[in-house]
Structure 1
Amino acid sequence: MSQVADIQIPLEPFKNENQTIGVVTYDSDQHFKLKVVNKTFFSKVIRIEVPGRDISNLNNPLKMRFKLNKPDDNVSCQFYIEKGSVTDGFWSTAGCLTNKTSDDVVECSCDHMTPFAVLLADVKNIDGPHWEILSYISYVGCGLSAFFSACTVLSFIFSSNARAEVSNSIHVSLSAALFLLNLSFMFSEWAATLTVNEVCVFIAVMIHYSLLCSFTWMAIEAMHLYLLLIRVFNIHIRHYMVKLSLIGWGVPAVIAGGLLSASNIYGMQETALSDTNTRNQFCWIKERAVLYGVNISYFSIIFMFNLGILVTVSRQIFKLRRVGRRHNKMPIWKDTGTVLGLMCLQGTTWGLIFFSSGYINYPILYLFCILNSMQGFYIFVWMCASARKNRAQAPNSKSKSTQDTSK
């Protein structure tokens, strides 16, 4: 291999054009030393320019394979952003992917955002255009979900009426878990570009822990719903919320902590798109056996439990509707809305991932990213609707809920 770099320049920007491309190699990095702080250069510095044009947002990435001056595991591909002059700028990893192909060779290319479905699905065979669309859907959905999850938690903290209801405490715990999941997920690609591997490991652990917490609180939602609607009368459980919190936050901590104690489970994960040579990096579980053996198994048990309770509760709701229909007091759209809301609270829509096992089903992946990345928003709407309904019924009824005798 060349001591400088092997460069692959995409042809798309230059179709039907005669264009000069300038490639300059700097044997010394002194040219850029002004803005370099605590950085070490492990290869030559390459400058690629097209006179009169700013080449960016390439569908197929510009790729360069560098020969390292000396072997090192903590290397990253970076480019120099000029401000006014060459010496007035800074180095950035934005849009750069680092792939060590051997001990002394590193391949640099641009990257894309990561779809939300990578948390449970193996999406290595997805096409580039679909990957990019799913990525935007995931990031927008996660951003909205994180914002509204935070609103749910804050409204709960500052509302004494909301804190008085155990059901609201469970909803808020699920919202808090989703907030951590969405927030940490949005940092997964950024952390993968850093040279400090511990940051990527921390983000990967946070994503996994908050994902397991979300699943656990979904199961708690289902269990509480069963106690509330099926076994209605006077259930007293001592220190009810304390026990639920130990399960909801403690069990995932034991699982994630156990995996963290094992070596090389969390860190930078890489996937390649099917129609290009683009390789995308993000922080997640590196071992596929752990991904399927822990995540899929854990979710499968919770999914079957929640689905059974959802069917039982739905039958009860529609049975009550048949009774109420005699008096024309129960419109069907309200019952349907209630069931859809319960599906959201119990995470039933995460079960869509079973329909993408072993092959790529684009409609399912789009539904998965849309429905699940915005789950925090749906819970916020549910709680607002429930609060409005409770205010309307407050003068005439007394709430029936599992009592926490620790108060």
Structure 2
Amino acid sequence: MFVHRSRTAEGHVRGVVIKAHGTLAFPNQNEDECQNSPCESPKVCHNTYKSYDCVCAAGFLTVRDPPSSKDTACLDLDECANADVCGANATCYNSYGSYHCICAVGFQSEPGHAPLGCQVSPLNCPEAERRNNSNPVPCDLKHSGTTERSKRSDKVSCSMTEQAHRLLDKVCQNFSEAEDSQAVIDFVNSFLNESSLWANMEVTERLNAVTALLDLMENLAMAIALTLPRPKTKTVSGASFALKVQVFGGQNKTEDEVVGLQVWNNTMEINWKTIAGQNDSDFAAISLLVFNNLESILNSEENRKGGGVAGRTGPLNSKVITASISNKAASHHLTEVVNFTLKLNQEHNGTGDLKCVYWKKTGVGSFWSTEGCITFDINQTHVMCQCNHLTSFAILMAPIEIEDDFALTVITYVGLTISLLCLAASIIVFSKCRSIQNCNTTVHMHLSINLFLAQLLFLIGLNVTGVKILCAVIAGCLHYLFLTVFAWMLLDSLQIFMACRHLTVKAYTRTHIIKRRYLYPSGYAVSALIVIISAAVNPTGYGSERSCWLSLESRFRWSFLGPVCFIIVVNLVLFIWTMVLLQHHLTTRDTSVSKIKDTRVLTLKAAARLFVLGCTWIFGILNVNENTTVFSYIFTILNTLQGVFIFLIYCVFNHQVRNDIRRCFHKRRMGSLTDTTNIALSSPETKTA
């Protein structure tokens, strides 16, 4: 059939249905004439009773052309003329019959309000992931000089890192909570459980992989928050992590109210004003992520390097956490500090320094840093941190180190300079003064020579850390020289003890002192043996990033402290024993046998010598942390002035040395007078001639 239409005087269309075989029919029911699209674009058809109208579509303005005509035309309507159509944080772009809003950089459409309204994007996506169809730059697997196993490991780790970037690309662009969340969970569980993969990674690859993983999980948390109704709290957990996301909306909270999350006994407390921002948005979210075993991966990296970036760090003693909020603009500079309470993996027993650190990303790499974080409170099981920014955090267990003190540095350099001058003078006296040449003087001279070399090398080589091999050699030489000094100190103590023990012997011979053929092996060979064994056990124990001395890792310092403690104990025993013998001889002495002429001088020398020969190092042992500053000053002053003590005790207070020096000056004076007299007597003869 076909339809014949005619327009009435009022402009309505009258329809007559002509059926097959020429039969006419006048239907009682209205027919939808718009089914055949009778109107030309951009007009749209509106069906009426037994008729239809063609009107301009939305986005177009109806005008009469000309104005007196009954015919109408459709002109494009510029919706962008209304400045508020897209909101303050978006730009309006007009199109034919429509418009669209594009959020400014750093903003995105509010959930459920698109396309109207843009808020600060809670995602922190790299620029590469912001672009459509962006692909991560492939890894460079051309490592020269690497083994096949290393190349295979590099290829696998590179593939895993690229996969992390692809997942981040999905999270940042077209995130599907149902599909992409599970994909990320499976990937993270698989990635963190690849222990062999992490073990074979190079340092740079491992740090880059950790950074990519942290970025992925931080953005995943906020991407999930954007899909949640308001208010809502959701927990996502896997074998290697646990994530809690809380979304707020419409709650009447005061600015000073504190919001908190807790995951695996790790808590986060943050001010509500920080989350919501200056303008209370109806979308605000907070998340806390705790990794299960990421700290063990980073600790193995610490053990491999034997130190840390920007100074030696130490192992992590907590889970690695990542905290984020929807107010990304305030995440890097919080107006109010955020409190973290992290559970320690191992209980704190008071040894070591616990530091709150965060994962700092720079253009040259990533590392743990204390910048912007303070350790607020410590107990046996937890540590409270206060930070002025948000990212990934952990607790670092750093060995205690005495911070550089300007006053101590000045005392050290001035004291060592004076000590070196006194030691040089002592060595000259011991070698030139014939009246004191005996076995005791041999011990004193070798003690002075080794102490002079040790202090000189300490003064000029302790901070030469630029060349590792040279620093290790300096550390080994210092180890040997100081051990040799202690060895000769012990031999001197034995000499004093043996001398005091045989004071009543009438025929006092060299059999009552240590013979020279035993002195040199005892003074030098034992120290060399200790250094050789220490270097064989731990070749990397010499030198560190802070100084050219023994490493504090793996208890290697006990290769020096062990012998030192032993000699100190022996010296104390010999000191007490010597004092007892002196007291006995002073009360029962026989002046015809005793070699003591002045008991006060002998007692003073015995006490002073033993004090110089090791007792001052007791203060060095007690100097263990920053709370023992007094011991630091005592130890530094006494030990840097050991050369002065040796010069005073062995030279200035020795009457034989004083007499020799007087005789030496007297001979020179007499020789000078003789020369003057001869010149005076020869003058007349010269004139007579």
Q: State the TM-score, normalized to the length of structure 2.
A: 0.35
In structure 1, distance between residues paired with 2:558 and 2:587:
43
Aligned partner (choices 605, 608, 620) of residue 341 of structure 1: 608
Aligned partner (choices 528, 532, 552) of residue 253 of structure 1: 528
1:160 aligns with 2:434: yes
Aligned partner (choices 453, 477, 481) of residue 206 of structure 1: 477
- The 3 A distance-change label for structure 1 pair 197 and 356 is closer
* 2:401 and 2:625 in contact (8 A); partners too: no
1:263 aligns with 2:530: no
1:299 aligns with 2:564: yes
In structure 1, distance between residues paired with 2:312 and 2:622:
34
1:181 aligns with 2:454: yes
Instruction: Write out per-residue CA displacement over residues 51-80 of structure 1, whole angstroms, 9 at most, x where no aligned residue.
Output: xxxxxxxxxxxxxxxxxxxx9xxxxxxxxx
In structure 2, distance between residues paired with 1:363 and 1:100:
26
**Cα offset for 1:124?**
4.0
* 1:188 and 1:283 in contact (8 A); partners too: yes
In structure 2, distance between residues paired with 1:382 and 1:227:
19
**Which residues of 2 match residues 291-370 of structure 1 at below 5 A?**
291-322=556-587, 334=601, 337-357=604-624, 360-370=627-637
* Map of 1:373 onto structure 2: 640
1:133 aligns with 2:398: no
In structure 2, distance between residues paired with 1:160 and 1:330:
23
1:197 aligns with 2:464: no
- The 3 A distance-change label for structure 1 pair 303 and 190 is closer
**Which residues of 2 match residues 3-402 of structure 1 at below 5 A?**
99=311, 124-126=400-402, 131-162=405-436, 164-192=437-465, 194=466, 196-232=467-503, 233-236=508-511, 240-261=515-536, 262-269=538-545, 281-322=546-587, 334=601, 337-357=604-624, 360-389=627-656
In structure 2, distance between residues paired with 1:322 and 1:144:
40
In structure 2, distance between residues paired with 1:106 and 1:377:
49
- The 3 A distance-change label for structure 1 pair 238 and 316 is closer
In structure 2, distance between residues paired with 1:298 and 1:148:
26
* 2:495 and 2:514 in contact (8 A); partners too: no
RMSD of aligned residue pairs (Cα, Å): 3.6
Q: Secondary structure at the match of 2:540?
A: coil
- The 3 A distance-change label for structure 1 pair 321 and 385 is farther
In structure 2, distance between residues paired with 1:160 and 1:123:
51
- The 3 A distance-change label for structure 1 pair 370 and 100 is closer
Aligned AA (1:252): S
* 1:204 and 1:267 in contact (8 A); partners too: yes
Q: Secondary structure at the match of 1:200?
A: helix
**Cα offset for 1:318?**
3.8
In structure 1, distance between residues paired with 2:654 and 2:648:
10
**Cα offset for 1:359?**
6.1
Q: Which structure has the highest strand share of the two?
A: 2
Q: Secondary structure at the match of 1:284?
A: coil
* Map of 1:80 onto structure 2: none
In structure 1, distance between residues paired with 2:497 and 2:576:
11
* 1:123 and 1:360 in contact (8 A); partners too: no
Q: Secondary structure at the match of 1:268?
A: coil
* Map of 1:64 onto structure 2: none
- The 3 A distance-change label for structure 1 pair 298 and 319 is same
- The 3 A distance-change label for structure 1 pair 105 and 340 is farther
**Cα offset for 1:288?**
3.6
In structure 1, distance between residues paired with 2:498 and 2:606:
17
In structure 1, distance between residues paired with 2:554 and 2:627:
20
* 1:266 and 1:286 in contact (8 A); partners too: yes
* 1:174 and 1:218 in contact (8 A); partners too: yes
* 2:609 and 2:649 in contact (8 A); partners too: no
**Cα offset for 1:389?**
4.5
**Cα offset for 1:258?**
2.5
Unaligned runs of 5+ residues in structure 2 are 1-203, 205-308, 314-360, 368-397, 590-596, 661-689
- The 3 A distance-change label for structure 1 pair 331 and 171 is closer
**Cα offset for 1:293?**
2.4
How many residues get paired?
A: 265
In structure 1, distance between residues paired with 2:509 and 2:603:
28
**Cα offset for 1:320?**
4.4
Aligned AA (2:569): M
In structure 2, distance between residues paired with 1:300 and 1:105:
43
Instruction: Write out per-residue CA displacement over residues 213-267 of structure 1, whole angstroms, 9 at most, x where no aligned residue.
Output: 1111111111111111113433427981232111111111111123234421112
In structure 2, distance between residues paired with 1:317 and 1:389:
22
Aligned AA (1:355): L
In structure 1, distance between residues paired with 2:658 and 2:409:
40
Q: Secondary structure at the match of 2:454?
A: helix
What is the aligned-residue identity percentage?
21
* Map of 2:81 onto structure 1: none
**Cα offset for 1:141?**
1.4
Instruction: Write out per-residue CA displacement over residues 367-393 of structure 1, whole angstroms, 9 at most, x where no aligned residue.
Output: 111111111221111121354246669
**Cα offset for 1:363?**
1.4
In structure 1, distance between residues paired with 2:365 and 2:606:
55
Q: Which has the larger radius of gyration?
A: 2
**Cα offset for 1:183?**
0.9
* 1:126 and 1:360 in contact (8 A); partners too: no
Q: Which region of structure 1 is more displaced relative to structure 2, 241-250 or 353-362?
A: 353-362
Higher relative contact order (CA 8 A, sep 6+): 1
Instruction: Write out per-residue CA displacement over residues 177-234 of structure 1, whole angstroms, 9 at most, x where no aligned residue.
Output: 1112111111234411x3x322111111111111111111111111111111113433
In structure 2, distance between residues paired with 1:161 and 1:311:
30
* Map of 2:386 onto structure 1: none
* 2:498 and 2:513 in contact (8 A); partners too: no
In structure 1, distance between residues paired with 2:460 and 2:610:
28
**Cα offset for 1:105?**
5.0
- The 3 A distance-change label for structure 1 pair 145 and 123 is farther
